[in-house]
Amino acid sequence: MSKIIKTYNAEVVKRTARRCKARGIVIPTFHQMRHPETAPEAIKARLKTVGLWDVDPANLFRITWKNDPETGLFGDPNHLEIPSAITGVKARIIGLVGKYFPTGAHKVGAAFACLVPRLVSGEFDPDYHKAVWPSTGNYCRGGAFDSAVLGCTAIAILPENMSQERFTWLAEIGSEVIATPGCESNVKEIYDKCWELKNDPRHLIFNQFEEFGNPVWHYNVTGPAIEDVYNGIRTDKTRLAGYVSATGSAGTIAAGDYLKSLHPGARTIATEALQCPTLLMNGFGDHRIEGIGTSTCPGSTTSATRMPWQPSMTRTACASSDSSTSPQDRPTSLVSASMRPPSPAWVCWASAASATSWRPSRWPSTSNWTRTT
């Protein structure tokens, strides 16, 4: 068995397969998420009439960085380059943009990689189990969406001080919702509630901080997407200086492991909220940067990430620049997740996590495609 699939129940698998067939569910592979253009033609045809946030099985194939908001199909990885006039440095800073995922956040991919292996192995029985998604917001939203699309019952657990829109959306999608005390950094209280729910064997806890599927998805999907972006701008003199990610549950930062396999000299740089520097200073505190969590040392972190020299640890995301280089020869830093704004002389920010209150306007028209700000 793999590190993700630990048991196999043939009878449950047969029932689940029949269930998926009856609901028209086709489950994509990591390869298809990495190369969505390889999706079945029938799926592509269906996507032309399906909204990005619709609870439709076809949207499983939109769990990719390569959604094209113009056509509703696929293209290059969604990204943006932040001008030097804003960053104050000469290094080229490019960030992945995650708002074109279903739910508006890439956590829908991490949740998929945690639920689906259990679903296809029979460890999770949708006729019996409930999928519990503990999170400060985006992961439980992604899990609730995946559960709804796959016909599974979801329980979302998140702090009571998260945005009301999150609670409203979770209820609308059919998830059970449990609010715990605190805000973004009150992770312990979420898992206290998980321990209570664990007493019921019907509850299967998908703890993103220890689920290996979380970093595996980012290694196999996010990392290659970043490499595609880099290859699109590189020259013979270009070097990849570094990859910047919030620590969170140690999922997104796994893309740095993939990039270092291709660019050994690149640095993986982890970031935390200044108000809650858990890994850097064993600190605790409250912050409102929704989507990066903290106050926890993820069990899913790789041994390489735990080493003090890799990744570089700082309270602001940073990568140094080389002032002697011309624009086309500048080092490139690729950043992901929610980052703090740049401080002088350092490269550090990109919009790549959630945009819960923002919904695209140029996708197929459906009732839930409205801007809610």
Question: For position 299, what pLDDT does the model report?
Answer: 53
Backbone angles phi, psi at 156, to 5 degrees: -100, 130
Q: What is the DSSP letter of 29?
A: P
Confidence (pLDDT) at 284: 62
Assess whether pLDDT exceeds 50 at residue 373.
Answer: no
Side-chain-side CA neighbours of 270 within 13 Å: the count stands at: 29
Q: Which amino acid would we find at residue 97? A: V
Across 72-76, 97-101, 224-228, 271-275, least confident range: 271-275
Listed in sequence order, the residues at least 6 apart from 15 whose beta carbon sits closer than 8 Å to its beta carbon are 125, 127
* pTM more than 0.75: yes
Q: Is the pLDDT of residue 313 over 80?
A: no
- Laid out side by side, the sheet with 267-271 consists of 79-82, 92-96, 332-335, 240-246, 267-271, 312-314
Phi-psi region of 240 (alpha: psi -120 to 50; beta: other; left: phi over 0): beta
Query: pLDDT of 238-278, one tens digit each?
Result: 899 999 987 767 688 899 999 999 999 999 988 777 776 66
**294: Cβ–Cβ under 8 A, 6 or more apart, which residues?**
184, 185, 187, 247, 248, 272, 273, 276, 278, 287
Average pLDDT score over residue span 288-309: 48
Question: What pLDDT sits at residue 325?
Answer: 34
pLDDT at 186: 75
Instruction: Say which range, 121-125, 243-247, 343-347, has the weakest mean pLDDT.
Output: 343-347
Q: Are strands 267-271 and 240-246 parallel, antiparallel or unpaired?
A: parallel
Tell me what percent of the residues of the chain surpass a pLDDT of 70: 72
The whole-chain average pLDDT of the chain stands at 79
pLDDT at 341 over 80: no
Chain-centroid distance of CA 337 in Å reads: 8
> By mean pLDDT, which of 77-81, 239-243, 311-315 is the weakest?
311-315
Query: What would the mean pLDDT of 290-299 be, rounded to a whole number?
Result: 55
Asked whether residue 199 carries a pLDDT value surpassing 70, the answer given is: yes
Give the pLDDT band (50/70/90) at residue 368.
very low
**Percent of the chain's residues with pLDDT above 90:** 57
Q: What is the mean pLDDT of residues 79-108?
A: 93
Outline which parts of the chain fall under CATH 3.40.50.1100.
10-57+103-205, 79-102+215-335
**Phi and psi angles of residue 320, each rounded to the nearest 5 degrees, phi first:** -75, 155
Q: Which residues contact 116 (CB under 8 A, 6 or more apart)?
A: 27, 146, 150, 213
Task: Report the pLDDT averaged over residues 107-122.
Answer: 96
Task: State the pLDDT at residue 146.
Answer: 97
Q: To 5 degrees, how large is the angle CA 165–CA 167–CA 170?
A: 105
What does residue 94 show for φ and ψ, rounded to 5 degrees?
-125, 135
Q: What confidence tier does 294 reach under pLDDT thresholds 50, 70, 90?
A: low
The predicted structure's pLDDT at residue 283? 57
Average pLDDT over residues 56-66: 98
> How many residues are recorded in the chain?
373
Q: Does the pLDDT of residue 80 top 90, yes or no?
A: yes
What's the average model confidence in pLDDT over 90-105? 93
**182 against 224, higher pLDDT:** 224
Confidence of residue 361 (pLDDT cuts 50, 70, 90): very low
User: Which segments of the chain are extended strands (E)?
Assistant: 79-82, 92-96, 130-134, 153-159, 176-180, 203-205, 240-246, 267-271, 312-314, 332-335
Is domain 79-102+215-335 annotated with CATH 3.90.420.10?
Answer: no
The architecture that CATH gives domain 10-57+103-205 is 3-Layer(aba) Sandwich (3.40)
348 pLDDT tier (thresholds 50, 70, 90)? very low
> Is the pLDDT higher at 248 or at 181?
181
Select the more confidently predicted residue: 96 or 250. Answer: 96
Per-residue pLDDT at 293 exceeds 50: yes
